């Protein structure tokens, strides 16, 4: 679940083993209660309530939403929001020991404490299966790239060179958005700031913060909404 973007920070209150046992003991007292799970599918949050059915042998069985079961089967883990009846405010993570998507049952083990970071996002982010071409325009120079994922607030862009990519630098972009209902492309220009660059060799990943005008924001928003619908449809069609 970590991927390019970090969804959470791991925290240790005692040792990892002690924390897992404390969470397990808490779970034993919460049978029949609801917990809120969180996973991501192509950067779209999948979060539904789950009911704790049983706890034994340091494992906890939950009845979950079918979408959640599908993603947990892929991620092999799930994030769990801090429960209102818990003595501390830390969120949790559990590894998937067993997943039955048909019966919507999940057995979790090896619990740990985390702080979920992804809730701090201001905008919906979507992953692109087919990267969108983009030109990064500098003073007197140009660098071609491909958008990996995008939100109204920024994007992660793959490039084959990092020579011009200086964090804090303001640049112009020309994003070549495909028309969702046709074969044409719309070139959308906007200003952006380079936030970070990662990678020791090509391809590099450049994180950008957008400063869009109203018209460019509308075009990007329309594309994101269409991509979001596509991802949700994919999620529905996943076979358990």
Residues 6+ apart with CB under 8 A from 235: 41, 44, 46, 67, 70, 71
Q: Which of 113, 91, 119 is nearest to 5 (CA)?
A: 119
Same fold, 8-120 and 126-236: yes
Question: Quick one: fold of 126-236?
Answer: Thrombin, subunit H (2.40.10)
Q: Furthest-apart CA pair in the chain: how many Å?
A: 65
Query: Helices in the chain by DSSP H: which ranges?
Result: 16-28, 66-75, 214-237
pTM: 0.85
Summarised one tens digit per residue, pLDDT across range 56-83 is 999 999 999 999 999 999 999 999 999 9
Whole-angstrom CA distances from 232 to 188, 194, 200, 222, 238 are 25, 30, 34, 16, 10
Render 113-180 in DSSP notation, one character per residue.
Answer: EEEE-GGG-SS--EEEEEEEEEEEEETTEEEEEEEEEEETTEEEEEES--TT--TT-EEEEEEEEEPT
41, 235 Cβ separation under 8 angstroms: yes
Residue 5: predicted pLDDT: 47
More confident residue, 119 or 89: 89
pLDDT at 2 over 50: no
Summarised one tens digit per residue, pLDDT across range 92-131 is 999 999 999 999 999 999 999 999 987 667 788 999 998 8
Helix (H) or strand (E) holding 97: strand 91-100
> Can you tell me the mean pLDDT for 17-32?
95
Per-domain boundaries in the chain:
8-120, 126-236
Give the CATH number of domain 8-120: 2.40.10
Q: Mapping DSSP to helix (H, G, I), strand (E, B) and coil, where does residue 224 land?
A: helix
Encoding tokens for residue 10? 């791991």
Residue 202: predicted pLDDT: 95
């Amino acid at each position: 679940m970590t991927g390019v973007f970090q969804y959470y920070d791991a925290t240790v209150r005692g040792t990892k083993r002690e924390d897992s046992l404390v969470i397990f003991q808490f779970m034993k007292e919460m049978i029949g209660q609801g917990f809120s799970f969180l996973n991501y599918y192509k950067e779209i949050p999948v979060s539904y309530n789950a009911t704790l059915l049983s706890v034994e042998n340091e494992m906890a069985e939950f009845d979950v939403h079918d979408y959640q079961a599908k993603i947990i089967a892929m991620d092999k883990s799930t994030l769990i929001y801090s429960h209102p009846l818990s003595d501390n405010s830390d969120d949790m993570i559990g590894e998937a020991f067993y997943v039955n998507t048909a019966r919507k049952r999940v057995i979790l083990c090896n619990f740990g404490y985390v702080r979920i970071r992804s809730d701090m996002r201001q905008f919906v982010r979507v992953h692109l299966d087919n990267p969108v071409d983009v030109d990064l325009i500098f003073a007197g120079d140009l660098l071609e790239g491909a958008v990996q994922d995008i939100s109204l607030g920024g994007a992660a862009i793959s490039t084959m060179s990092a020579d011009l990519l200086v964090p804090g630098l303001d640049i112009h972009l020309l994003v070549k958005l495909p028309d969702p209902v046709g074969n044409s492309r719309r070139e959308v220009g906007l200003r952006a700031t380079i936030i970070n660059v990662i990678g020791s060799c090509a391809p590099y990943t450049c994180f950008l913060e957008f400063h869009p005008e109203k018209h460019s924001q509308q075009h990007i928003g329309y594309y994101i909404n269409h991509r979001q619908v596509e991802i949700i449809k994919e999620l529905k069609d996943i076979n358990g």
